[in-house]
Amino acid sequence: MSLLDLRGVRKSFGAIDALRGVSFSVEAGSVVGLVGDNGAGKSTLMKTITGVYAIDGGDIRFDGASLIGRDPGAIRRAGIEMIYQDLALARMRDVAANIFLGRELTRSVLGLPLIDTKRMRAEAEAMIARLGARIPSVAQVTGQLSGGQQQSVAIARALTFNPKLVIMDEPTAALAVREVEHVLDLIRTLKSHGIAVILISHRLTDVFSVSDRIVVLRQGTVIADDATRDTSMNAVVAHIVGATDAAAH
């Protein structure tokens, strides 16, 4: 049984059919590259998995249970984390608050659950250190950090709570070359720890270097789903732009 199983997932926004029956699966501890042109439905598809969008049809099963009707908090608790392209950070709050956003640690004061800032900062500090990220202080307001540092915060948040599946939406789009290699190494590390990854990227070289399978999405449907070793850059590009199969292989 696969870790994540999508069956005929459909989603419309008014008259626009963003997803027209998407099916594919992700095995535990594997890396799946999800590629496609702008507007192919990649981000929409990921947001249906994380519960931000409710789907109109089909089923999404994770770890044997359906995710349909669950809210984003419940889906995170089930073990799916996503690193959003816009990073989804509260930029006026500090690093620790962002890492624990939605899962704040509390301590009981007179029976009231109050936020335990001290413990959150200590644990956030440890997580940042484990990732080898360079952030001046976890008490720093996130909006003051550089783009790369902000991304480290988003990554740390996704990895702090022992996920089984991490979805990354264009994690390398805004990074310098050295930082890109860091993210790719991270994906390999996750895989070696048995954590599955869905990598959405326009940079096909990145996708080819870390993925086990490559799924190509075009106009809301899966147009190709191959093991990385059985496909080629040309074939994938042909699928993305919609050229015929003859042009590939």
Partner 1 sequence: MASTASPAASWRARFAGGAALRLESIVVLIVLSGIMAALSNVFLSVSNILNIVLSTSVFGVLAIGMTFVISSAGIDLSVGSILALSGVVGAILTSTLDWPWWVGILGCLAAGAFTGAVNGFLVTRGAIPPFIVTLGMLGVARGFALVLSDGVSIYGLPPEITWLGQGRPFGVPVPVIVLLLTALVAHVVLAHTRFGIYAQVIGDNEGAARAMGVRVERMKVLLYTLSGLLSGLAGLLFAARINSGEPTAGLSYELTAITATILGGTNLFGGRGSVAGTLIGALIMGVLQNGLNLLAVRPFYQQIAIGAVLILAVWLDRINSREGWRR
Cβ 115 to partner 1 shortest distance, Å? 5
**Location of structure tokens 């003051």:** 144
Dist. CA 240–CA 68, nearest whole Å: 29
CB 199 within 8 Å of CB 171: yes
> Residue 78 or residue 248: which is nearer to partner 1 going by CB?
78
> Residue 134 or residue 188: which is nearer to partner 1 going by CB?
134
DSSP β-bridge partners for residue 216: 35, 224
Encode burial over 5-40: b for 16+ CB neighbours within 10 A, e otherwise: bbeebbbeeeeebbbbebebbbeebbbbbbbbeeeb
Cβ 173 to partner 1 shortest distance, Å? 18
Cβ 241 to partner 1 shortest distance, Å? 30
> Residue 21 or residue 79: which is nearer to partner 1 going by CB?
79
CB 221 within 8 Å of CB 9: no
Binding residues (CB under 8 A) for partner 1: these are 50, 52, 71-74, 76-77, 82, 84, 86-94, 97, 101-104, 106, 112-115, 136, 139-141, 143-146
Cβ 26 to partner 1 shortest distance, Å? 20
> Residue 142 or residue 211: which is nearer to partner 1 going by CB?
142
Cβ 89 to partner 1 shortest distance, Å? 6
* CA Rg value for the chain: 19
The two three-digit tokens of residue 113, written as one number: 């659950």
> Residue 38 or residue 108: which is nearer to partner 1 going by CB?
108
Phi, psi of 138 (to 5 degrees): -75, -10
Handedness of CA 108, 110, 113, 117 (dihedral sign): negative
CB 235 within 8 Å of CB 248: yes
Cβ 141 to partner 1 shortest distance, Å? 6
> Residue 65 or residue 74: which is nearer to partner 1 going by CB?
74
